[in-house]
Every structure is written in C-alpha cells, then in structure tokens.
C-alpha cells in the first residue's frame, strides 16, 4: 500500500473540504435545530459528481475509487454528518447495489439519474423487529405472476421522504429462510406506499429519517434485483461497502472535533498561557490525534482492498468498529476540553458529539462488527 495520495485524490479532497467550509458550515446549526434536510447542498453535491462517485461514467458516475470516496466522506463529515450520510447511502448502498447486481434495464432507468445526482435513493432493510438482521425480514413480497405484492414496514430509513428510488429487502418464501429473500426497486409514489412521520433524533438531525409502510404495493417482476432468492446475499454485500462509508463518516466527525479542540486549546488561556501548553491538555491532544490517524489508516485499508477487488469484509468491520469508537471518544473529549463553551451550540462540538453516537449503531452495531471480525479471524 502506498501512503501517498495521487494528485487526483488530493484535488478531490480539497474540493470536498472547500465545499464543507463554504456550503455546509453556514447554516449547519440551524439545520440541526430545525431538522431541516440540506436539499440545496445535496443538489450541489450531485452537480459535483459526489452522489455517484464510484459508478462507471457510462452510467453517469464519476468513476472514482473508494479511497477518494473515503476522503470526501471525511471532509464533509467534519462539518455536517447529516449531509454526509445522504452521500454515503446514495453511493455505498443504492448506487453500488444497482451497479453491481442490477440488470442493464435497471441501470439505465434507475442508476443513471441516481449517479448523476438528479435524485437520491434509499436502502430499506431495517424493520421494527429485525434491525440489520437481513435473515429475519417480516416484510413480504408475494409472487403474483408478473408482479410481486409487497406488504410490511421498514424503520430508520435515511432519505425516507426525499428519495425517488427505494431498494426494499423482503421475504418472498419464508420456508426457504434466507434463501427466500429478495431485493426490489420501488418507486416513490407507488400506490399503497406511504411515508411515516419524520423521526426526532438525537443526532444527524438534518438527515431525513422515516418509517415506510407498504400496503399491497405492486412491484413489477423486472424490479427484482438479481436472481430469485439472492436478496440476502445482496444485502450482506451492500452493507460491507456501506461500512466503509460509515467508518469514513465517523473518522470525519472525530477529525472535525479534534480540529476544533486544537484551535480552542491554542487560544484559551489559563494561568497566563494557552491551555495547549499544559501537559495534561497535550496528552489529551496526542491521544486524540493518534487514535484518529489509526482510524484513518483502517478506513484507507478497507477502501484500498475494495479498489483492488480483494476481500474486505474484516477490514470494513474493523474500520467501522474502531472509527466509530474513536468518534465517540474524541467528541466527548472535545466537549470536555472546551469546558462550558463545549456545551453551547455555537461551538459545534456538542453537535458533533451527538452525531458521533449513531456511527456506533447504524450499518450494524459495534457488537455486530465484533461478531463479524471474530467470524472472519476464526475461519
């Protein structure tokens, strides 16, 4: 592995950094307080090619590598994780799933506008009693000949009301267990498809999270992704890539909090000198910087393996597990280092702390990542 970014990767990182500072930072506190979806910012990210980063240009994508994707996710997440999670879902789950497993017809009809940023997608796996357990789906899709009849509820869906294209995982044949699961493309506005109220969340409050309800929704046969019974494998493979995106989001949250803590430590004075000159604070900063760099290297390794076409299940789970824990530790320390100011919204660190928590939960909890890692090392 080469520990040096290419000129193209550096340029992409710099564009993302500039966008975060000039397009995301203004109004980020207000969007958080008002739970306002960053529609204008998402539109601009689509124009920059950041909503279909790794998609082949023939499908309107940018054709970039996973390492570039990690760089963009980190820079956006330093400032606004509510926006970066939209980028993550559209890239890692929806576009990747359609390009890797979709038919040519599905790519033409659905992937092209998604990769071009003309619309956004949603990945619908979690349920009230299933969480990220793809094998325990209660949502059903009954084969009716030339269409499936979809019934059920999905929970915690990012882009729930703003997406145009929804990938829904459902059980077609309960007798076959996980081999009876399929993934389907459902269009917004389909009869019987309704969106529940927006969730009032602790963090990433600007993102659009809803429950979705399907009541006898007709899904054309051509909207099934892959072969009959391939939905479980589809969900597992898509989630692997998704973990790289969430690891990068956690990395960005931690990095953003560290930058704020470092800047504050250089300015805030006690006993006649900046607090950064006190050894106790230096130790905190040293630990934070070291842990963030370790998380960054784990993210890069997982992305590099994915780019090389090598197995990355273990690496992605390690990156997601460690980066999310570093995000939580770093943001808590950043609030503490700011003292009373850390508890005030205008200093941003309290929001980053709230945003950090979700990275330990979605795309599989920290406990689930440990199970995946253990399974891989015991093979």
- C-alpha distances (whole Å) from 181 to each of 135, 158, 192, 372 are 8, 22, 21, 21
**pLDDT tens for each residue of 313-332:** 999 999 999 999 999 999 99
Same fold, 7-120 and 122-231: no
Tell me, what DSSP letter sits at residue 227? S
CA dihedral sign of residues 302, 81, 18, 57: positive
Given a cut of 70, whether residue 168 has pLDDT beyond it is: yes
Question: 279-307 vs 231-267: helix axis angle to the nearest 10?
Answer: 150
**CA proximity to 203, closest of 77, 90, 321:** 77
Residue whose C-alpha is closest to residue 41's, from 31, 55, 52, 54: 31
Q: For 286-314, how does the pLDDT look when each residue is reduced to its tens digit (9 = 90+)?
A: 999 999 999 999 999 999 999 999 999 99
User: In sequence order, what are the residues at sequence separation of 6 or more whose Cβ sits closer than 8 angstroms to the Cβ of residue 239?
Assistant: 93, 125, 132, 134, 363, 364
Average pLDDT score over residue span 159-175:
96
> Mean pLDDT over residues 196-207, rounded?
97
Distance CA 40, CA 20 (A): 13
Task: Express each pLDDT in 65-105 by its tens digit.
Answer: 999 999 999 999 999 999 999 999 999 999 999 999 999 99
Overall fold of domain 233-378: Butyryl-CoA Dehydrogenase, subunit A; domain 3 (1.20.140)
Residues 6+ positions from 158 with CB-CB distance below 8 Å: 85, 86, 89, 122, 123, 207, 208, 209
Query: Average pLDDT, whole number, for the chain?
Result: 96
Range 173-179 contact pairs with CB under 8 angstroms and sequence separation of 24 or more: 173/229, 174/140, 176/229, 177/135, 178/134, 178/135, 178/232, 179/229, 179/232
pLDDT at 193 over 90: yes
Q: What pLDDT is attached to residue 132?
A: 60
Question: 133-152: per-residue pLDDT in tens?
Answer: 667 789 999 999 999 999 99
Beta strands in the chain (DSSP E): 121-124, 140-143, 147-158, 165-171, 181-187, 193-198, 209-220, 224-225, 269-270, 273-274
C-alpha dist (Å) from residue 136 to 146, 179, 242:
26, 12, 20
pLDDT at 130 over 80: no
On the question of pLDDT at 131 being above 80, the answer is no
Q: Tens of pLDDT along 342-351?
A: 999 999 999 9
Active site residue 333: no
pLDDT in tens, 255-281: 999 999 999 999 999 999 999 999 999
Quick one: pLDDT band at residue 363, thresholds 50, 70, 90? confident
| 134, 156 Cβ separation under 8 angstroms | no
Spatial contact of 83 and 229, defined as CB atoms under 8 Å apart: no
| Cβ-contact 147, 219 below 8 angstroms | yes
For the domain with range 122-231, which CATH number is right: 2.40.110.10, 3.40.50.2000, 3.20.20.70, 3.40.50.300?
Answer: 2.40.110.10
pLDDT at 23 > cutoff 80: yes
pLDDT of residue 136: 75
| Helix or strand (DSSP H, E) at 257 | helix 231-267
Give me the residue spans of the domains in the chain.
7-120, 122-231, 233-378
In 228-243, which positions are buried (b, 16+ CB within 10 angstroms) versus exposed (e)?
ebbbbbbbebbbbbbb
Residue 331: per-residue pLDDT:
98
Examine the pLDDT at 173 and tell me if it is beyond 80: yes
CATH topology of domain 7-120: Butyryl-Coa Dehydrogenase, subunit A; domain 1 (1.10.540)
User: What torsion do the CA atoms of 283, 288, 290, 293 make, to the nearest 10 degrees?
Assistant: -160
Question: Of 127, 240, 333, 363, which residue is the catalytic one?
Answer: 363
pLDDT of residue 129: 78
The pLDDT of residue 135 is 72
Q: What is the pLDDT of residue 1?
A: 62
Residue 249 has a pLDDT of 98
């Amino acid at each position: 592995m080469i520990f040096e970014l290419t000129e193209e990767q550096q340029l992409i990182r710099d564009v993302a950094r500039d966008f975060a500072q000039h397009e995301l930072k203004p109004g980020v506190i207000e969007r958080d307080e008002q739970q306002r979806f960053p529609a204008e910012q998402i539109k601009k990210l689509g124009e920059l090619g950041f909503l279909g980063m790794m998609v082949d240009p023939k499908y309107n994508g940018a054709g970039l590598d996973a390492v570039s994707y990690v760089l963009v996710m980190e820079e956006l997440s330093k400032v606004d994780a509510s926006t970066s999670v939209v980028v993550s879902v559209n890239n890692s789950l929806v576009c990747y799933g359609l390009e890797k497993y979709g038919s040519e017809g599905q790519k033409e009809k659905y992937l092209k506008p998604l990769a071009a940023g003309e619309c956004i997608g949603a990945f619908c796996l979690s349920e009230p009693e299933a969480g990220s357990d793809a094998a325990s789906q209660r949502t059903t899709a009954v084969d009716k000949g030339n269409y499936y009849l979809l019934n059920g509820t999905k929970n915690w869906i990012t882009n729930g009301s703003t997406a145009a294209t929804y990938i829904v995982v459902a059980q077609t044949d309960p007798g076959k267990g996980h081999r009876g699961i399929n993934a389907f493309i459902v269009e917004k506005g389909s009869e019987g498809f309704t969106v529940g109220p927006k969730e009032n969340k602790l963090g990433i409050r600007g993102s659009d999270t809803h429950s979705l309800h399907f009541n006898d929704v007709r899904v054309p046969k051509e909207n099934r992704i892959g072969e009959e019974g391939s939905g479980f494998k589809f969900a597992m493979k898509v989630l692997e890539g998704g973990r790289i995106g969430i690891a990068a989001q956690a990395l960005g949250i931690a990095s953003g909090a560290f930058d704020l803590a470092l800047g504050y430590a250089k300015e805030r004075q006690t006993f006649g000198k900046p607090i950064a000159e006190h050894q106790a604070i230096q130790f905190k900063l040293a630990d934070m910087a070291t842990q963030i760099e370790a998380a960054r290297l784990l993210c890069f390794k997982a992305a590099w393996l994915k780019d090389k076409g090598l197995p990355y299940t273990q690496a992605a789970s390690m990156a997601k597990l460690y980066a999310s824990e570093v995000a939580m530790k770093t943001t808590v320390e950043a609030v503490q280092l700011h003292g009373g100011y850390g508890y005030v919204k205008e200093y941003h660190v309290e929001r980053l702390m709230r945003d950090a928590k979700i990275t330990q939960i979605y795309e599989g909890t920290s406990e689930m990542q440990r199970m995946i890692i253990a399974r891989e090392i015991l093979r």
